Structure 1
Amino acid sequence: MILAIDQGTTGTTCLVVDEGLRPVGRGYREIAQHFPVPGWVEHDPEEIWASVLLTAEEALADAGIAARELTAIGITNQRETTVVWERESGRPVHPAIVWQDRRTAARCAELPEDLIRVRTGLVRDPYFSATKLEWILARTTLPQEKLAFGTVDAWLVWKLTGGGRHATDLTNASRTMLLDIATGSWDDELLELFGVDRAMLPDVVPSSGHAAEAELLGSTVPISGIAGDQQAALFGQGCFAPGEVKATYGTGTFVLANLGGDAGPPSPGLLKTAAATAPDAPRQFAAEGAILVGGAAVQWLRDGLGVIADAAETERLAREVDSTGGVTFVPALTGLGSPHWDPDARGLISGITRGTTRAHLARAALEAIAHQVADVLEVLPIGTAVLRADGGATANAFLMQLQADLIGSPVEVAADADATALGAAALAGLAVGTWQDTTAVASLLERGERYEPSLGVGEVAGLRDSWRDGLARTSLRP
């Protein structure tokens, strides 16, 4: 039995997974997001930690086992979210700054673009951790040698080991803007650029391998798998070979393509990031399209506007109308990510008339998610024979069919929407010998619905043209 901890942006899920890579126990807790200033997004690190303990206990109870029966723990997490805490007390010195936060946009515009792009595979954007860390350090008087920095995985490893281990895995480290993507090591020039003392950084460990010994609910269990959520989903979708592509539909939507050992420069508009690999496997890289607002657009319709009562309602509403009635919704609620990278862009709903209804808005929100994925796939350096999809929104058959139509390729949905957690479990299990290799893991992965393209070329072109027109209107750039 393996415990997979999936700490996400809106909540924490824990799964107990058996040797058939099947979930046999589950726990879930929402966590609060705080918005102290427009464009700022924060979490309470202690609430994150408490949610992990509660969901782990719930998952174990649901599986009918005790913590001592666990073979290993796998961790996957919201990436880039930045936590800084005191080494001696373990107390956070500031709320965690979430990956969606845009407070450092002006600072990012000052950074040397070529250095960031070539050295890290990333872009100058407040999405990543380094400028968040720099911002927190400027507001604490404690010396850096008394502090520890990490993304959420490192914070959880620290808490699970009672402060005995400060470690992050390569996939999470590659999202900080402090790592040389080619060497897999912290980079001195980048540390100097952001004023970061190496002493406060975690050790970088493989995604699959013994990282630490956790103390969980009175038992000692090895932590043997760690990966950022999108790399864990790539692994959990069985995209082990170069050219295989997945999209995860969550708060944001993230498209990753396995590039194998290609360590060359990233393609325009995309990120180059470290991929999770099995023990002793050669390093792999992934091309990534990071769409900052996916399901969050539907959440905004629900929580911000009160247009819908539940996210699942959008499918029914979208089917009530034949089109959006000319409405285009570009959900640049926190700027635009891949492939546009415009932190100053603002959300836009255009084409509204007296006849516009909430059904049109719901359909436009779903279309926006699919269009953004299509934007990424258009600039991907490899073709997409099949798009493997996971995440909560894959339950929306309207969205999945539209996605297949817009990209002109089949969309294959994972049988279990929790591909991210299953990826963490697979990485942990490979390290402790539950499965011998990725071939064994692949044989256990089940596929769900498959959606084939059905719209004509002209219809798709018309939808895409309307989307691009709306997209052009969102930028505040001259």
Structure 2
Amino acid sequence: MSYILSIDQGTTSTRVILFDKYSQIICISRRKHEQISTSQGYLEHSPEEIYGKVVLCMTDIAQQMKRKHIDISQIQCCGITCQRETVVVWDRATGVPLCNAIVWSDMRNMDILQLVEARLRKANIDIQQRTGLPISTYFSASKVLWLLQNDELVAEAVKNKTCCIGTVDSWLLFKLTQYNENGPQFKTDVTNASRTQLFDLQTLTWAEDLLQIFEIPQECLASIQPSSSDFGVISIKPFQQIPITGVAGDQQASLFGHCCFEQFSSKCTFGTGAFLLTNIGQELQISRDGLLTTVGFQLQNEKAFYAQEGSVNSAGTALEWLVKLNLTNSIDNMDKMIDTQNNKSNGVIFIPAFSGLFCPHWRPDARAVILGLTLGTSSANLMYAALEAIALQVEDILEVLRKNGVQTPIMAVDGGIVNSVHFRQVLSNIIKAKVELRDMVEVTALGAALLAGLQAGIYKDLDEIRQCVKEDVKVVDFQEEEQHYCTKLKEKWQKSIERSLNLAE
């Protein structure tokens, strides 16, 4: 039997999973890492802690394999998927980080955006046409520019071209391959590169004029490869010499894990945020309606598949905030609380814009508001309003796709929140589409494994992947009798969005 090792490095935790060819989980290990917030709007991770948690999880997997009498030599390849946009800077010679990683949701770079916009106007560059991404705190390039202006150690290293600037995938690749005879591999894939705002979607290369805008030497950036290709071999025991043959950003890995290989097939992953991706095929079409255009995936020696994406920056975060207020013991307990009520949100509208609004609004000045509170409002009502808020943000994205001629009668979903029976029904009712939940919950890690397995020859083509990952799915259909309620809810939601704007200090 052949096995595939998959490393899934996320915003709050790291998973390492051993899959067999048929997408069955054989072993799994998970470790959380610290969320470092030194100031309002700041969020950092320790790169060394992240790598350390990856190694600990890999060690756990080796021990589990030993207990199951599976030999390390049966692992044919390794795939890596990771949180996107998060910036890591480290010394090229020593592999030591020069600062903490700046996380994708960090907003310290907000003031930098005006400078970037002025430079783009002067250079007559349409950055969204080139990269598929609007100017936002979300993406990597302006985070790097902030470091150059505020961190002397980073600025000096960039000036001397002695550092590596990368996303989490390139950091992990560098560390996992560092003890090989030919030295560490400093590489990234097209999906992660396409989230930096330094990547030309047409040429699939770093854009030299954008590098100048953001003051980043190309020598400090990783080389770019297809998502399914040869990235190097692991050098740490006991997994040394296992080839790393698949790399993708977490949402693109999820798209691949859901087998969204055909044009207009869609998925939505619900985690810290919510991320809806639709495969738009191999012809590049830049969205101008608040959606992001990105690389979906690229196989070796083939054209890239593009995707349009709508990103919601507060999904699970909204529910975790309610847990933090002791309104419930846990997210898992949410359905039980809601079962005790029969009045849904009881008129409450929750806009969870804790760090602004992403697609399709792109308003970093928005802040969270709760409207419609009365003395009769219960904690269950607030929980239900949070579920509606998450679904309504997805509906905002789907409405833009519909205007662009993309219909989504079925939405494949994954992530912790979708385990809630109430949320699946709320989502189906609000987006007026079937919601499809697979038994496999680790779809992101699976996507990285499938990309790796394809390059390693475990799968001969995409059709074989489809055959090997077939499984039962739970399908929730929308309730026609709830459509009047949902229509009124959407109207109130749009009016409430306006109340959340211009609140940032």
TM-score, normalised to structure 2, is 0.92
Give the alignment partner of residue 454 of structure 2, picking from 421, 430, 450. 430
In 2, Cα distance between equivalents of 1:11 and 1:262: 35
Give the alignment partner of residue 448 of structure 1, picking from 459, 473, 476. 473
Unaligned residue ranges in structure 2 (runs of 5+) = none
Q: Deviations over 1:413-461 (max 9, x none)?
A: 1221111000000000000110111111112232421000104331210
* Structure-1 residue corresponding to 2:498: 472
* Structure-1 residue corresponding to 2:47: 45
Give the alignment partner of residue 145 of structure 2, picking from 119, 127, 134. 134
The answer (yes or no) to whether the contact 1:253–1:291 under 8 Å persists in 2 is yes
Alignment of 1:256-405 (within 5 A): 256-303=277-324, 305-321=325-341, 322-380=343-401, 381=404, 382-405=406-429
Give the alignment partner of residue 192 of structure 1, picking from 212, 226, 230. 212
Q: Deviations over 1:65-97 (max 9, x none)?
A: 354432111000000000000111111111100
* Structure-1 residue corresponding to 2:30: 28
How far is 1:118 from its partner? 0.8
Q: Deviations over 1:281-328 (max 9, x none)?
A: 32110000011111111111123x222221111222223222211111
* Structure-1 residue corresponding to 2:95: 90
The answer (yes or no) to whether the contact 2:5–2:18 under 8 Å persists in 1 is yes
In 2, Cα distance between equivalents of 1:108 and 1:125: 7
Paired amino acid for 2:36: H
Higher mean alpha-carbon deviation, 185-194 vs 269-278, is at 269-278
Is 1:459 aligned with 2:471? no
How far is 1:364 from its partner? 1.0
* Structure-2 residue corresponding to 1:211: 231
The answer (yes or no) to whether the contact 1:34–1:42 under 8 Å persists in 2 is yes
Secondary structure in 2 aligned to 1:176?
A: coil
How far is 1:55 from its partner? 1.1
Is 1:202 aligned with 2:222? yes
In 2, Cα distance between equivalents of 1:415 and 1:116: 40
Q: State the 4+ residue runs in structure 1 displaced beyond 6 angstroms.
A: none
In 2, Cα distance between equivalents of 1:459 and 1:368: 14
Paired amino acid for 2:165: F
Alignment of 1:124-203 (within 5 A): 124-138=135-149, 139-141=151-153, 142-144=156-158, 145-162=161-178, 164-203=184-223
Higher mean alpha-carbon deviation, 308-317 vs 33-42, is at 308-317
In 2, Cα distance between equivalents of 1:184 and 1:477: 38
Is 1:70 aligned with 2:86? no
Secondary structure in 2 aligned to 1:354?
A: coil
Secondary structure in 2 aligned to 1:379?
A: helix
The answer (yes or no) to whether the contact 2:21–2:468 under 8 Å persists in 1 is no
In 2, Cα distance between equivalents of 1:227 and 1:390: 17
The answer (yes or no) to whether the contact 2:264–2:279 under 8 Å persists in 1 is yes
Higher mean alpha-carbon deviation, 237-246 vs 350-359, is at 350-359
Q: Deviations over 1:142-171 (max 9, x none)?
A: 232111011000000000011511000000
Q: Deviations over 1:359-403 (max 9, x none)?
A: 111111111111111111110131102101111111111111111
In 2, Cα distance between equivalents of 1:216 and 1:452: 48
Unaligned residue ranges in structure 1 (runs of 5+) = none
Is 1:15 aligned with 2:17? yes
CA RMSD, aligned part only? Answer: 1.5
In 1, Cα distance between equivalents of 2:286 and 2:264: 17
C-alpha spacing 1:455/1:348, structure 2 compared with 1 (3 Å) = farther
* Structure-1 residue corresponding to 2:110: 105
In 1, Cα distance between equivalents of 2:480 and 2:172: 46
How far is 1:109 from its partner? 3.5
Q: Deviations over 1:102-121 (max 9, x none)?
A: 11112224423762211100
The answer (yes or no) to whether the contact 2:112–2:146 under 8 Å persists in 1 is no
Higher mean alpha-carbon deviation, 4-13 vs 353-362, is at 353-362
Paired amino acid for 1:40: Y
Q: How many residues align?
A: 477
How far is 1:477 from its partner? 7.3
Higher mean alpha-carbon deviation, 64-73 vs 420-429, is at 64-73
Secondary structure in 1 aligned to 2:294?
A: strand
Q: Deviations over 1:185-243 (max 9, x none)?
A: 00111000000011100000110011111113232111000000000000000100001
Secondary structure in 1 aligned to 2:331?
A: coil
In 1, Cα distance between equivalents of 2:488 and 2:162: 58
C-alpha spacing 1:147/1:124, structure 2 compared with 1 (3 Å) = same
Secondary structure in 1 aligned to 2:241?
A: strand
How far is 1:135 from its partner? 1.4
Is 1:121 aligned with 2:137? no
Higher mean alpha-carbon deviation, 231-240 vs 462-471, is at 462-471
Identity within the alignment, %:
37
Is 1:233 aligned with 2:244? no
